[in-house]
Amino acid sequence: MTALTALTLNSCSTATTEQYEATALTSYTLQVKYANNLTSQPQPRIETFANTSMLNRNGLKPAGALVGPDDRGLWWPTLPPRPSVDEVDQHKRPQEEAGKPELVKDVKYKLTKFKSEVGSRK
């Protein structure tokens, strides 16, 4: 019985495989700069009004994607709603002036590695 057990243990093997998932989070942010003097103040205050994002996974078209793929193969969310003049003015502090709403485009990339072990018998 001992010899049979040793034979069985020696004929088992485990294989480790590696898989990767590449993601890119694309986003649009609408923001407005505020300052006492927008032309001379080096670091104006920034208020974010709206943000939309979309997760791209392994280069496949995400569900609900309407814009893309671009020249880098990325899909983009729909544009966020533009703030009204009244909304922009509501965020002003005394003596401040407000800039025009700006659309900021951003991508955050991530590569995740997964390991899995698969056992087999011969």
pLDDT tens digit sequence for 39-85: 998 999 999 999 999 999 999 999 988 889 999 999 999 999 999 99
Token readout for 62 is: 């995400």
E strand residue ranges, the chain:
12-35, 45-57, 97-98, 102-121
Beta pairing, strands 45-57 & 12-35:
antiparallel
Q: Is 7 within the bounds of a domain?
A: no
Q: Is 54 within the bounds of a domain?
A: yes
Token readout for 27 is: 């986003």
- Number of domain units in the chain: 1
Q: Is the pLDDT of residue 110 over 60?
A: yes
Q: Is 8 within the bounds of a domain?
A: no
Q: Is 13 within the bounds of a domain?
A: no
What does residue 9 show for φ and ψ, rounded to 5 degrees? -65, -35
pTM: 0.74
Q: Is 16 within the bounds of a domain?
A: no
Cα gap 67→61, rounded to integer Å: 10
Q: Is 11 within the bounds of a domain?
A: no
- Residue 94 is part of which domain span? 25-121
